[in-house]
Amino acid sequence: MDMLAILMTIGVSFLLAVILGPLCIPLLRRLKFGQQVRTDGPQSHLKKSGTPTMGGIIILLAATVAFLRFSDKTTEFWVLLVGALGFGLVGFLDDYIKIALKRSLGLTAKQKLFGQLLFSLIVCVLLYQMGHSTAVSVPGTSFSLDFGWFYYPFVIIIFFGTTNAVNFTDGVDGLLSGTSAIAAGAFTIIAMQATEHESAVFTAALVGAVLGFLIFNAHPAKVFMGDSGSLGIGGGLAAAAILTKTEILLVLIGGVFVVEMISVILQVGSFKLRGKRIFKMSPIHHHFELSGWSEWKVVTVFWAVGLVLATAGLALYRIGGG
């Protein structure tokens, strides 16, 4: 794998995001695509109301252009594009309906489910056409289990779980930008070791794009990525994990996202069953905010945890013969 091509991909996507930021943010502000802040959340977030959102467009545009420039346009190329842009489109429609059309709930649950299922199925068809292995490896070992036709429902579960987990993580300035850059960086290393060129280039493009976006998204954020960014990132990471045959390892590398999702499930389940909340607020990053942590402390701690988990994931990959 050509390291120079990977570094150039990161650099190009980073520069594109930095250039697109000052162009898109004023436009989003003029269009009044401002964030609606939850009144039951941390009081410090109320001043963020009206901050431009849907900034995920910046990430997806920058990453896609860089990916187009350095990829080989194989079938894997389409799997990654459908994963990122397909789910990004679902997020964009949800954002647009909530903000531009003033429908607070955005897409209905059925509409969002349909969109996510549609793009997951398209990926499944592409995987079948390219003869993608249906075996799933056990991290840290040389063992694998062939799922056969059950692999495709498994792929759908991976997309649904990853995109929603990543979406839950977006809620504090710079939190998702940093953690997703770390996860994408880990998959870039894995893809390079697996000589999976398309995945390496795509995740490298994602690293550059989210780091460029972080310049405008770090506290105090000038723009939020919205569902268009979080769902697009989640779809891209899921596609990369599938192509590099690290489907289960995604749970560890994306451990921060998993914890965020589990905190929501536990909170909702506890309230419905017992009428009591486990956390002061979910997702769990809000719990720490309401416990007195500053936004910057929440972000840096979660970044550090994400880095440790990604490093552990890479170590397991190497142990398993990657």
pLDDT digits (tens, 9 = 90+) for 15-33: 999 999 999 999 988 877 7
How many other CB atoms sit within 10 Å of the CB of residue 29? Answer: 15
Whether residue 193 lies inside any domain: the answer is yes
Residue 135: its H or E element: strand 135-137
Within its chain, how far is the Cα of 95 from the centroid?
16
Cα–Cα distances (Å) from 94 to 100, 173, 255, in that order, read: 10, 20, 26
Residue 91's pLDDT band (boundaries 50, 70, 90)?
very high
pLDDT at 141: 85
Structural tokens at position 222: 């000038």
Whether residue 291 lies inside any domain: the answer is no
One-letter amino acid for residue 115 of the chain = G
| pLDDT > 90? residue 78 | yes
Whether the Cβ atoms of residue 89 and residue 115 lie closer than 8 Å to each other: yes
The total domain count for the chain is 1
Structural tokens at position 288: 């720490």
pLDDT at 35: 61
Residue 144: its H or E element: strand 144-146
| pLDDT > 90? residue 260 | yes
| pLDDT > 60? residue 264 | yes
Q: What is the mean pLDDT of residues 29-38?
A: 69
Whether residue 64 lies inside any domain: the answer is yes
The single-letter DSSP state of residue 266 is: H
pLDDT at 106: 76
The response to whether 164 counts as a known ligand-binding position is no
| pLDDT > 70? residue 40 | no
Whether residue 244 lies inside any domain: the answer is yes
Whether residue 155 lies inside any domain: the answer is yes
Residue 100's pLDDT band (boundaries 50, 70, 90)?
confident
Cα–Cα distances (Å) from 19 to 15, 16, 61, 67, 209, in that order, read: 6, 5, 11, 17, 11
175: domain range? 3-36+49-248
The response to whether 167 counts as a known ligand-binding position is yes
Whether residue 298 lies inside any domain: the answer is no
188-244 pLDDT, tens digit each: 999 999 889 999 999 999 999 999 999 999 989 999 999 999 999 999 999 999 999
151-183 pLDDT, tens digit each: 999 999 999 999 999 999 998 999 999 999 999
Whether residue 221 lies inside any domain: the answer is yes
Whether residue 71 lies inside any domain: the answer is yes
225-237 pLDDT, tens digit each: 999 999 999 999 9
The more confidently predicted of residues 172 and 104 is 172
